[in-house]
A = this chain, B = another copy of it.
Amino acid sequence: MARPRIKDVARHAGVSEKTVSNVINDYVHVSERTRRVVREAIDHLGYRVNLAGRHLRKGRTGIIALVVPELDVPYFAELARHVIREAERLSLTVLIHQSGADREHELAALAGFGSDFVDGIILSPLALTADDVSDRAGAPPTVLLGELLEEGADHVAIDNEKAAREATEHLIGLGRRNILAVGGVEAPGLGTAEARTRGYLAALAQAGIPHRPEALLPVGDFRMPDGARAVAGVLRAGERPDALLCLNDQLALGALRTLYESGLRVPEDVAVIGFDDVEGGRFSVPTLSTVAPDKAAVARVAVELLHRRIEEAAQGPEASGAGSGGVQSPQDRVVSHRLVLRESTEGPGGG
């Protein structure tokens, strides 16, 4: 079959070519239903927008940067794959920068690497403050991933507090009472770990389970060795948990190894649930229950929002006023998540 064209998408979706074009250009006055039908047709036919010429005409490079703290935390690598796929539909090339959760690196990225070769930035910040983000005149359009740093920035995240509450409720529903939060931090902070800890505490309070501060296990980093070490530490101290809420899957996979070495059975002695739904948790022994964020949706919403901001920036402020259906005001987008229950909480029949 020849490379599909816009008219093929229109025919397949049963809409006009103009409507297809509106969806591709992400105009707000297209209904959600039409948007979905057209997107399905685009996916089905493998249609690819050819914007290469357009980028250059408008003085752009067609390159966006994705800035994440650590690529060897699989969540970010998996998210990157989705961002690349979504960007490709708009003929945008994604270059990825690892910030190492270092503020200087994040600031350099926010400033577009001191160059003008990126049209826009998707940034998952760990060390930036709200002031860093607001104080950036002349920088490329930016969409933030994760917990909201400040009201004035576009951002995309799951409801981390709600997700952690649901995961904890699942453990409580299994009859567990001594539930440790691996990576938990009791603080008024704005980060993802703080939001997840709030959800954990809310679920305990709701069930009338008293919270002990030592049930929050601090970690240096959110990786397998940290999870393994944190759990080894409490077991050595004589703590006998019956469940672990791990704030990401890497911590949980490390914890599973320590529990195995300690002769504790999962989930019979200790039930374990993580966050992120990374591939490793689908193949671990036992397989890992987890909170699965809709990574494809995080990527799609972030790329579409950034693309719109880039268009707005090119058209100037008058084109995107409140009256014209534009999206000038900062967007706070929440995407869905779900609990995925596997052997580490449900036992051999549960995976």
Contacts and interface: CB of A to CB of B under 8 A. Distances in A.
Interface size, A (range): 35 or more
Given A115-B117, A257-B283, A72 B65 contact: no
A77 interface: yes
B283 A285 contact: no
B283 A254 contact: yes
A266 to B, nearest CB: 10
Contacts of A254: 283
Nearest to A56: B114
Contacts of A80: 71-72, 98
A300 interface: no
A260 B95 CA distance: 39
Nearest to A255: B283
A239 to B, nearest CB: 21
A84 B100 contact: yes
A34 interface: no
A165 B78 CA distance: 33
A130 to B, nearest CB: 25
Contacts of A61: 113, 115, 117
A113 B84 contact: no
Contacts of A96: 71, 95-98
Given A71-B96, A72-B81, A280-B280, 13 more contacts: A65-B95, A74-B74, A74-B77, A80-B98, A84-B100, A93-B97, A95-B96, A95-B97, A228-B283, A253-B283, A256-B285, A257-B284, A285-B285
Interface of A: 61, 63, 65, 70-72, 74, 77-78, 80-81, 84, 93-98, 100, 108, 113, 115, 117, 223-225, 228, 253-254, 256-257, 260, 279-280, 282-285
